[in-house]
Amino acid sequence: MQHFALTIIGRDRPGIVSQVTEILFHRGFNIADSSCSILGGQFSMILLISNPSVSSQDEFSEAFKPLEESNLSVFIRTLKPGGETRSELDGELCMISVYGADKPGIVYQVAKELGDRKINITDLNTKLIGDKENPVYVMMLEALLPEDTEIEVVEGWMEELKQKLQVDISVRSLLSMEL
């Protein structure tokens, strides 16, 4: 079965998720995976979708014309086989949170530190909270630690970065729960 990546971006307003999923529902698509967020004032959404009777994006792309007419950008990409499934990765899942004054380079320097140590970032979100007089930059990362890498070791690696960036960084385990 062919899978597609569907990306929607545009000025945030109520009802975008409803509109997109209504189109998919009426066309018989299944949503295999998704992520939606508001970035600044822009709504962004990426979905991995499939339909056993659809093999080409040309067969359904016109269904999104109403969204484009309402000033949303729609992008569809055909995935190569296997691109719809998450590879099995071994290691401990953890949450890394960063809080501090907003300044260029925080995301890069934290991501570089993790990447250099072969820590896979599986999710990353940033936002500015507080008020104009006292803004606080917040970054939340979900990351997969390599086998035999302990939380305490990662905290030690982050200590120098905390001092350099003048931010607070904490690392905690996300224990998997069985349903």
**Domains in the chain and their CATH numbers?**
3-78 (3.30.70.260), 92-173 (3.30.70.260)
pLDDT digit string, tens, across residues 40-71: 889 999 999 999 999 999 999 999 999 999 99
pLDDT digit string, tens, across residues 163-177: 999 999 999 998 754
Type of residue numbered 123: D
- Cβ neighbours, 10 Å, residue 53: 8
Type of residue numbered 89: L
Phi, psi angle pair for 37, to nearest 5°: -160, 160
User: Where do the H-state alpha helices sit in 86-169?
Assistant: 106-116, 151-165
Grade residue 179 by pLDDT with cuts at 50, 70 and 90.
very low
Cβ-based burial of 110 (10 A; exposed 0-12, middle 13-18, buried ≥19): buried
Rounded Cα–Cα distance for residues 113 and 179 (Å): 34
Please tell me whether the overall predicted TM-score, pTM, comes out greater than 0.85 for this model.
no
pLDDT digit string, tens, across residues 79-131: 988 766 666 667 889 999 999 999 899 999 999 999 999 999 989 999 999 88
